[in-house]
Copies of this chain bind each other. A is one copy, B any other.
Amino acid sequence: MARRGEWTGESLAAGVRSGDKRALARAITLVENSDPLAYQLVRDLYPETGRAYTVGITGPPGVGKSTLIASLIRHVRAAGRTVGVISVDPSSPFSKGALLGDRIRLSDHFLDPDVFIRSMGTRGHLGGLAETTLQAMLILDASGKDVLFVETVGAGQSEVEVIGIADTIVLVLMPGSGDSVQALKAGIMEIPDVIAINKMDHPAAKTMLNEVRSVLSLDRERSWRPPIVLTEAARDENIAELWEKVEQHRAHLESEGLLEERRRKNLAGEVFAVASGRAKSHLEQAVEGDPELRRVLDAVQARELDPLTAVREILQKVFHVDGEDRS
């Protein structure tokens, strides 16, 4: 039995199942380190997952996502439900850059035995961020948490993969989020399930509300029309209303039989994202460690070998496939 400090695989699994915070922290650290023990642990626990409801909180930096999550935790805890949070926003107060006020607000939750909050670095994970986040979420799910939040920043591809596991996605904006509104309008950003416009005290909040509403009104074909809620997370304002919209979205998914379908799609998407991430890091490591493949890159630089032929040679050597499209 592999030992990692004081933990054995068995004691760690038992600790995770009972929701022990030290066990959860240790297990997620092992996930971050791509430790084989983490892989075994999630494999063993996986049949016990799928019970938590997972809410993705996304949006540009600075809109108050972490404060909103802190406020949502308070609301959900008041109803007696247990909570897990994974934050993959490097600028989140959950990690370092916390203002004093935020830290005080969050410290209540850090002391609560039924709340587990973990911030993940966004770099250096060999298996990719999608993989690390997925494994960490599965551990929190297996620990019996009722509600899981996953926080990501922005709307880029890696963020989509991270948040791809969520049952309900909440996009958080604030007055001044002009780029995000344009991205929604241009169809470049996916339409979320619920939208929160935070910092509702700002004089431009109503204008932002109308802009977002008019963007959403262009799309009349959805069975679920994303509700928009004005919030002031720093004062817990309209957080109950926001949570109600999340619950309504969940009820919508369940009543239409869409939850199972969404989870199937999400899981398949995650498997692809993780497999692609692993294939990519496998490629990088192969080229790194192989003088012949490094010479292929040198030949591209010298304009002797074109990039696509280089790609074919690398895929052939590393994956034994011809790398051709099968169109």
Contacts and interface: CB of A to CB of B under 8 A. Distances in A.
A177 B178 CA distance: 6
A235 interface: no
A323 interface: yes
A297 interface: yes
Contacts of A272: 280, 283-284, 287
A188 to B, nearest CB: 6
**Which bracket fits the contact residues of A?**
35 or more
Copies of this chain, whole number: 2
15 contacts: A33-B327, A46-B305, A61-B182, A90-B186, A126-B325, A153-B183, A267-B300, A267-B307, A268-B300, A276-B279, A278-B315, A278-B323, A282-B323, A285-B326, A318-B321
Interface in A162-188: 174, 176-180, 182-183, 185-188
A39 B275 CA distance: 27
Interface in A306-321: 306-311, 314-315, 318-321
A40 to B, nearest CB: 10
Contacts of A268: 297, 300-301
Nearest to A62: B182
Interface stretch (A7-15, A110-118, A127-135): A127-135
A119 interface: no
A271 B179 contact: no
Nearest to A91: B186
A50 interface: yes
Contacts of A321: 282, 318-319
